Amino acid sequence: METTRADRLKTAILLGAVAGLLVGLAVYFSGEPDVANAVWIAGVVPALAALVVEILRSLRSGEVGLDIVAALSMSAALVFGETLAAAVVAVMYSGGTFLEAFAEGRARREMHDLLSRVPRTATRHRNGGLEEVPLNEIAPGDRLLIRQGDVVPVDGTLSSETAFVDTSALTGESLPVRLRYGAEAMSGSTNAGEAFDLIATHEAKDSTYAGIVRLVEEAQASKAPMSRLADRWSLGFLAVTVSIAFAAWWFTGDPIRAVAVLVVATPCPLILAVPVALVAGLSRAAHFGVLIKGAGPLETMARILTLILDKTGTLTDGRPQIVAIDSHDGMAEEDILRLAAALDQASKHPVAQAIVAAAKERGFSLPVPSDVAEIPGEGVVGYVEGRKIIVGGDAFVASRVGRRPGDHSAIAAGSVLVAVAVDGHMVGHLVMSDPLRDGAGQMLDGLRREGIARILLATGDRADVAERVTEGLGLDGLRAGLTPDQKVLLVLTERKNGPVMMVGDGVNDAPALAAADVGVAMGARGAAASAEAADVVLLVDRIDRLGPGIEIARGARRIAVESVVAGIGLSVMGMIAAAFGYLTPVQGALLQEVIDVAVILNALRALRIAPHEPTIPKPKAVSSGQDDIAQGATP
């Protein structure tokens, strides 16, 4: 409401100033110069009054800006009879504030799009029928119907066979994503295909999209260090402007030259270019699925020299995947996987769920197990299609079938071996591991090209596991076996060499994220604690989004600096020309208006930053000798 009222007031002042200028010109050319002066003054007074009120508010809050130069130029022009110049300055200043508000509004468009997409209600299955309920009534476990075109209201898992969702508003992905049964669906995405059912896993207030909305609101209220630095620079520019104006008057005895100098200096691109460029950068980053919590983190992100990566869930996928199936009793690999997955449907263990996901990705129809008994940390025993199945650790399954555990020393460090027995016979093993994310190597190469000098891995895992996973990545350092406190110490140590970015996804990463100059959380599956502690949240579970985010941050900051340097340089040249009498006050006002418009348009270039999109290879199938088994991650 307050913003709308302020925008209406700015519009009214601009229209009044424009009307005063145009009517005054018409009266002047009709032969009534005195009436024209009165009309010009009438158009200037409201703009000057609003400007004085704004200056007093700023001074009360301890801020001194270049609005003072605008007030001085209008006042001086009126005092010395340059009413036309004063009218042009009034139009220029009110037009500049209006154009700045318009530019920032355009720059925030993607963020506003995020906010406007928040659904108010959801359709819930209840007692064999459907009911429309407010979002705050949805509880984990509720079955929801997502119609075609609906926005997914809460985080959940797909309960239908397949679904196509459009995540473009959140991630910038232009094509719909295909999800299979059991896959995670992120709130805020849109159903681009047939209606599907969703099992809610979070309440609305705890879902991804609600967190995004909160972060957007925080980002919109932020102010960048560069903006604060611009405020400090404005004091120096104000002193230079007044000094040149006073010198021009003192040495020539002509006060009109001083008026011309003040007019050329009003307003300065410092107060226009920086916020527009940085907010445009925030908007552009959000379009690519990188939510930056304000202009301050964006500016710091542009200066990062050291990157520290967590391993599990960040550099790696964080979910075990099948890399090989070994058959020992002549049973087909597909049957080993199908029977193991059917039994593991009764377990919530991450390894069990990964086996189920791999079978569903393969397209297997899984029968319901019976008489299931789970031994925590060991394995699961039960019946599938009348056959007794045992799935678990090698020692556990071997002891149940009367065999000695085999020698599996050749298995790579960090791999998980899952044994499968059918009707008392060991039929095979599933070899599982937590592989690198697709495109991790290309992402790191791209970051080095963007100026990241050091890339380190910080993990609580064993050194041999970390070395195997990161082999060939060319990291500058690897720190294994770290506790959360030791990760913080590593961040603080690296900060001595320049700004540090830390990327993580778990609760144990939250302290290090908070200690870094810029903390980045994997927001799609990451813990809420890490997302709250971070300055940047990746809205999709893809580490390769980090590269475009840094590229956009650097581009937005570069454009802001270019705009400031060019704008101030042109303004100073104009002031010197005015001081030597080459520009009249009216000409100076018109020149400065051209400079201001050019500066804002240049700052808006940040909306068109096109970051390099890394090419992510498709997941490769893996084989143990007969048929290939697709890796078990859902799309």
For residue 422 the two structure tokens come to 């059918």
Helix (H) or strand (E) holding 41: helix 33-60
Catalytic residue among 310, 394, 438, 544: 310
Token match 């007074």: residue? 45
Whether 397 and 379 have beta carbons less than 8 Å apart is answered as yes
Residues 6+ apart with CB under 8 A from 17: 43, 44, 46, 47, 87, 90, 91, 94, 95
Whether 344 and 352 have beta carbons less than 8 Å apart is answered as yes
Whether 82 and 259 have beta carbons less than 8 Å apart is answered as yes
Distance CA 24, CA 36 (A): 4
The helix/strand/coil state of 45 is helix
Q: What is the largest CA-CA distance in the chain?
A: 114
Distance CA 401, CA 5 (A): 78
- Residue 197: active-site member: no
The helix/strand/coil state of 22 is helix
Distance CA 476, CA 307 (A): 10
For residue 31 the two structure tokens come to 């032969």
* Exposure letters 144-160 (e unless 16+ CB within 10 A, then b): bbbeeebbbbbbbbbbb
Whether 634 and 337 have beta carbons less than 8 Å apart is answered as no
Angle between helices 83-107 and 255-264 (to 10 degrees): 10
Angle formed at CA 82 by CA 78 and CA 83, multiple of 5 degrees = 65
Whether 298 and 537 have beta carbons less than 8 Å apart is answered as no
Token match 């473009």: residue? 168
Q: Which amino acid is at 453?
A: A
- Please list the active-site residues: 310
